[in-house]
Amino acid sequence: MPKGYWVSVYRTISDPEKVAAYDKLAGPAVAAAGGRLLVGSVSRGVAYDAGVAERTILVEFDSFEQAVAARESAAYQEALAALSDGVERDFRIVEGTD
């Protein structure tokens, strides 16, 4: 069964305090849902083409369905409420190839 991934690229961070509040809630919510952080905000990266060299997060789940359920969970919704309008980001859930 193909794995599921959260891919989140932050275009701008307007309120670092909201991001910190989100991080405190999102990490445990993701772990409780079976997610594994593969790329975190302090990882090194280089942006090419129209890429943005801001915070990038990659989380792996055992399945696409598990990734979607984690996003919809009450615990993660609480984290999103804390983040609110503190960032502009591109958040996607994608299915792996194998």
Task: Kindly state the percentage of the chain with pLDDT values over 70.
Answer: 98
Angle, to 10 degrees, between the axis of helix 74-83 and the axis of helix 64-72?
60
Three-state DSSP class for 23? helix
pLDDT recorded at residue 98: 80
All structural domains of the chain? 4-95 (3.30.70.100)
CA 36 to chain centroid, in Å, comes to 11
Q: What is the mean pLDDT of the chain?
A: 93
Instruction: Kindly state the DSSP code that residue 11 receives in the 8-state scheme.
Output: E
How confident is the model over 35-53, as pLDDT tens digits?
A: 999 998 766 778 888 877 7
Of the candidates 55, 19, 58, 22, the residue with the CA atom closest to the CA atom of residue 37: 58
For the four alpha carbons of 87, 25, 58 and 62, in that order, the dihedral sign comes to negative
Residue appearing with tokens 């399945």? 63
pTM of the model: 0.90
Structure-model confidence comparison of residues 44 and 74, the more confident one: 74
